[in-house]
Protein backbone atom coordinates (compact mmCIF):
# COMPACT_ATOMS: atom_id res chain seq x y z
CA UNK A 1 0.00 0.00 0.00
CA UNK A 2 1.32 3.48 -0.85
CA UNK A 3 2.59 5.48 2.12
CA UNK A 4 -0.02 8.17 1.42
CA UNK A 5 -2.70 5.52 2.00
CA UNK A 6 -0.88 4.16 5.02
CA UNK A 7 -0.96 7.66 6.52
CA UNK A 8 -4.74 7.77 5.99
CA UNK A 9 -5.12 4.29 7.45
CA UNK A 10 -3.10 5.20 10.55
CA UNK A 11 -5.19 8.34 11.11
CA UNK A 12 -8.46 6.49 10.59
CA UNK A 13 -7.43 3.78 13.05
CA UNK A 14 -6.10 6.19 15.67
CA UNK A 15 -9.28 8.25 15.69
CA UNK A 16 -11.68 5.32 15.63
CA UNK A 17 -12.20 5.55 19.37
CA UNK A 18 -11.32 9.16 20.09
CA UNK A 19 -12.68 12.45 18.79
CA UNK A 20 -11.13 14.16 15.79
CA UNK A 21 -12.56 17.67 15.85
CA UNK A 22 -9.81 19.91 14.45
CA UNK A 23 -7.26 19.03 11.77
CA UNK A 24 -4.64 20.72 9.60
CA UNK A 25 -3.39 19.77 6.16
CA UNK A 26 0.01 21.49 6.10
CA UNK A 27 0.46 20.90 2.34
CA UNK A 28 -2.80 20.88 0.36
CA UNK A 29 -1.35 20.05 -3.07
CA UNK A 30 -4.14 18.47 -5.10
CA UNK A 31 -6.41 18.32 -2.07
CA UNK A 32 -6.59 14.57 -1.48
CA UNK A 33 -5.39 14.81 2.12
CA UNK A 34 -7.56 17.86 2.82
CA UNK A 35 -10.69 16.06 1.64
CA UNK A 36 -9.66 13.00 3.63
CA UNK A 37 -9.17 15.02 6.83
CA UNK A 38 -12.44 16.86 6.28
CA UNK A 39 -14.25 13.52 5.98
CA UNK A 40 -13.14 12.68 9.53
CA UNK A 41 -12.85 16.00 11.37
CA UNK A 42 -16.16 17.05 12.92
CA UNK A 43 -15.57 20.76 13.45
CA UNK A 44 -12.89 22.50 11.35
CA UNK A 45 -9.99 21.80 9.01
CA UNK A 46 -7.33 24.26 7.91
CA UNK A 47 -5.31 23.72 4.73
CA UNK A 48 -2.10 25.51 3.73
CA UNK A 49 -0.22 25.76 0.47
CA UNK A 50 2.12 28.33 -1.09
CA UNK A 51 0.73 27.71 -4.61
CA UNK A 52 -2.53 29.36 -5.61
CA UNK A 53 -3.10 26.50 -8.09
CA UNK A 54 -2.97 24.00 -5.22
CA UNK A 55 -5.43 26.04 -3.16
CA UNK A 56 -7.81 26.25 -6.13
CA UNK A 57 -7.50 22.52 -6.94
CA UNK A 58 -8.28 21.75 -3.30
CA UNK A 59 -11.23 24.18 -3.26
CA UNK A 60 -12.66 22.50 -6.38
CA UNK A 61 -12.47 19.06 -4.73
CA UNK A 62 -14.10 20.35 -1.54
CA UNK A 63 -16.92 22.00 -3.47
CA UNK A 64 -17.53 18.83 -5.48
CA UNK A 65 -17.77 16.88 -2.23
CA UNK A 66 -20.00 19.56 -0.68
CA UNK A 67 -17.57 20.03 2.21
CA UNK A 68 -17.81 23.39 3.94
CA UNK A 69 -15.86 23.21 7.19
CA UNK A 70 -12.42 23.81 5.62
CA UNK A 71 -10.49 27.06 5.75
CA UNK A 72 -7.94 27.19 2.90
CA UNK A 73 -4.99 29.48 3.50
CA UNK A 74 -2.70 30.56 0.68
CA UNK A 75 0.44 30.80 2.80
CA UNK A 76 3.31 28.65 4.03
CA UNK A 77 2.64 26.21 6.85
CA UNK A 78 5.33 28.00 8.84
CA UNK A 79 2.66 30.68 9.48
CA UNK A 80 0.28 28.14 11.04
CA UNK A 81 0.32 29.66 14.50
CA UNK A 82 -0.61 33.08 13.12
CA UNK A 83 -3.74 31.65 11.50
CA UNK A 84 -4.98 29.10 14.02
CA UNK A 85 -5.88 29.85 17.59
CA UNK A 86 -7.11 26.39 18.48
CA UNK A 87 -5.56 23.14 19.74
CA UNK A 88 -5.50 20.57 16.92
CA UNK A 89 -6.07 16.80 16.95
CA UNK A 90 -4.36 15.78 13.71
CA UNK A 91 -1.85 17.43 11.37
CA UNK A 92 -0.70 15.99 8.03
CA UNK A 93 2.53 16.92 6.27
CA UNK A 94 2.99 15.43 2.81
CA UNK A 95 6.27 17.14 1.99
CA UNK A 96 8.00 17.70 -1.35
CA UNK A 97 6.53 19.01 -4.59
CA UNK A 98 3.32 18.45 -6.49
CA UNK A 99 3.64 15.48 -8.84
CA UNK A 100 3.50 16.55 -12.53
CA UNK A 101 4.01 20.19 -11.55
CA UNK A 102 6.83 22.68 -10.95
CA UNK A 103 9.40 20.66 -8.99
CA UNK A 104 11.20 23.81 -7.85
CA UNK A 105 8.22 24.69 -5.67
CA UNK A 106 8.95 22.25 -2.92
CA UNK A 107 8.88 22.24 0.85
CA UNK A 108 12.19 23.27 2.39
CA UNK A 109 13.96 22.11 5.55
CA UNK A 110 13.92 25.44 7.41
CA UNK A 111 10.25 26.27 6.94
CA UNK A 112 9.18 22.65 7.47
CA UNK A 113 11.01 22.56 10.81
CA UNK A 114 9.39 25.84 11.84
CA UNK A 115 5.99 24.35 11.01
CA UNK A 116 6.78 21.09 12.79
CA UNK A 117 7.84 22.92 15.93
CA UNK A 118 4.58 24.87 15.88
CA UNK A 119 2.64 21.65 15.24
CA UNK A 120 4.09 19.90 18.28
CA UNK A 121 2.88 22.79 20.45
CA UNK A 122 -0.55 23.07 18.83
CA UNK A 123 -1.33 19.35 18.93
CA UNK A 124 -3.66 18.09 21.65
CA UNK A 125 -2.47 15.24 23.91
CA UNK A 126 -3.62 12.04 22.19
CA UNK A 127 -3.17 13.74 18.80
CA UNK A 128 -1.25 12.56 15.75
CA UNK A 129 1.11 14.18 13.25
CA UNK A 130 1.77 12.30 10.01
CA UNK A 131 4.89 13.34 8.17
CA UNK A 132 5.75 11.97 4.76
CA UNK A 133 9.31 12.71 3.58
CA UNK A 134 10.82 12.23 0.11
CA UNK A 135 14.63 11.93 0.20
CA UNK A 136 14.71 11.02 -3.53
CA UNK A 137 15.27 14.60 -4.75
CA UNK A 138 17.92 17.13 -3.70
CA UNK A 139 15.85 19.46 -1.50
CA UNK A 140 13.98 16.43 -0.18
CA UNK A 141 17.20 14.71 0.88
CA UNK A 142 18.33 17.82 2.79
CA UNK A 143 14.86 18.17 4.30
CA UNK A 144 14.65 14.48 5.31
CA UNK A 145 18.02 14.69 7.10
CA UNK A 146 16.88 17.85 8.89
CA UNK A 147 13.62 16.14 9.88
CA UNK A 148 15.50 13.09 11.15
CA UNK A 149 17.75 15.16 13.40
CA UNK A 150 14.72 17.14 14.59
CA UNK A 151 12.94 13.85 15.39
CA UNK A 152 15.90 12.75 17.49
CA UNK A 153 15.28 15.76 19.77
CA UNK A 154 11.65 14.86 20.52
CA UNK A 155 10.94 14.05 24.16
CA UNK A 156 10.04 10.36 24.19
CA UNK A 157 8.15 10.82 27.48
CA UNK A 158 5.71 12.88 25.43
CA UNK A 159 5.93 11.30 21.98
CA UNK A 160 5.68 7.86 20.48
CA UNK A 161 7.17 7.70 16.96
CA UNK A 162 6.67 5.10 14.27
CA UNK A 163 8.53 4.93 10.96
CA UNK A 164 7.17 3.22 7.84
CA UNK A 165 8.94 2.76 4.54
CA UNK A 166 9.35 0.32 1.66
CA UNK A 167 9.89 -3.34 2.53
CA UNK A 168 13.37 -3.19 1.02
CA UNK A 169 14.13 0.53 1.33
CA UNK A 170 16.73 2.41 -0.70
CA UNK A 171 18.24 5.69 0.55
CA UNK A 172 15.85 7.41 -1.85
CA UNK A 173 12.68 5.66 -0.63
CA UNK A 174 9.96 7.86 0.89
CA UNK A 175 9.55 7.58 4.67
CA UNK A 176 6.37 8.06 6.66
CA UNK A 177 6.74 9.17 10.27
CA UNK A 178 3.75 8.91 12.60
CA UNK A 179 4.17 11.03 15.71
CA UNK A 180 1.70 10.22 18.48
CA UNK A 181 1.49 12.72 21.31
CA UNK A 182 0.93 10.83 24.53
CA UNK A 183 -2.22 11.41 26.55
CA UNK A 184 -1.51 13.28 29.79
C1 LIG B 1 3.46 16.42 -2.12
S2 LIG B 1 2.51 17.89 -2.36
C3 LIG B 1 1.16 17.65 -1.26
C4 LIG B 1 0.15 16.63 -1.71
C5 LIG B 1 -1.21 16.82 -1.08
N6 LIG B 1 -1.21 16.66 0.35
C7 LIG B 1 -2.32 16.05 -1.75
O8 LIG B 1 -3.11 15.36 -1.06
O9 LIG B 1 -2.44 16.13 -2.98
C10 LIG B 1 3.46 19.13 -1.52
C11 LIG B 1 2.83 20.51 -1.54
O12 LIG B 1 3.54 21.33 -0.60
C13 LIG B 1 3.42 22.66 -1.04
N14 LIG B 1 4.36 23.52 -0.31
C15 LIG B 1 5.65 23.84 -0.59
N16 LIG B 1 6.16 24.64 0.38
C17 LIG B 1 5.16 24.84 1.28
C18 LIG B 1 5.05 25.57 2.50
N19 LIG B 1 6.08 26.26 3.02
N20 LIG B 1 3.86 25.57 3.15
C21 LIG B 1 2.80 24.88 2.65
N22 LIG B 1 2.85 24.16 1.51
C23 LIG B 1 4.01 24.14 0.84
C24 LIG B 1 3.66 22.56 -2.53
O25 LIG B 1 3.16 23.70 -3.20
C26 LIG B 1 2.89 21.25 -2.87
O27 LIG B 1 1.59 21.56 -3.31
Q: Would you place residue 83 in the very low, low, confident or very high pLDDT band (cuts 50, 70, 90)? A: very high
Cβ(7) to ligand 1 under 6 A?
no
- Which structural domain range is residue 105 located in? 3-181
Q: Beta-carbon neighbour count of residue 144 at 10 Å?
A: 23
Q: Does the pLDDT at position 101 exceed 90?
A: no
Residue nearest to atom 23 of ligand 1 (CA): 49
Q: Would you place residue 155 in the very low, low, confident or very high pLDDT band (cuts 50, 70, 90)? A: very high
CATH no. for residue 71?
3.40.50.150
For the chain, what is the domain count? 1
Query: Taking the CA of residue 113 as centre, how many other CA atoms within 13 Å lie in the half-sphere pointing to its CB?
Result: 16
Separation of CA 165 and ligand 1 centre (Å): 20
pLDDT for position 177? 98
Q: What is the pLDDT of residues 118-142, one digit of tens each?
A: 999 999 999 999 999 999 999 999 9
How far apart, in whole angstroms, are the C-alpha atoms of residue 4 and residue 30? 13
Q: What is the pLDDT of residues 28-64, one digit of tens each?
A: 999 999 999 999 999 999 999 999 999 999 999 999 9
CB-neighbour burial class of residue 4 (10 A; exposed 0-12, middle 13-18, buried 19+): middle
Helix, strand, coil proportions of the chain in percent (round to 5)? 40, 25, 40
Cβ(112) to ligand 1 under 6 A?
no
Q: Does the pLDDT at position 172 exceed 90?
A: yes
Cβ(77) to ligand 1 under 6 A?
yes
Q: Which of 107, 109, 142, 143 to mutate to test the pocket of ligand 1 (most atoms within 8 A of CB)?
A: 107
- Atom nearest to 132 CA in ligand 1: 1
Amino acid sequence: MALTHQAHQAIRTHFQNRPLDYAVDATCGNGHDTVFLASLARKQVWGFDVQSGAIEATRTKLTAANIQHVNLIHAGHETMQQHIDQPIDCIMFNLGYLPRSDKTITTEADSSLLALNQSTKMLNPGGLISLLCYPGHDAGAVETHAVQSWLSTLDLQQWCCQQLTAREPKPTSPILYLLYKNDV
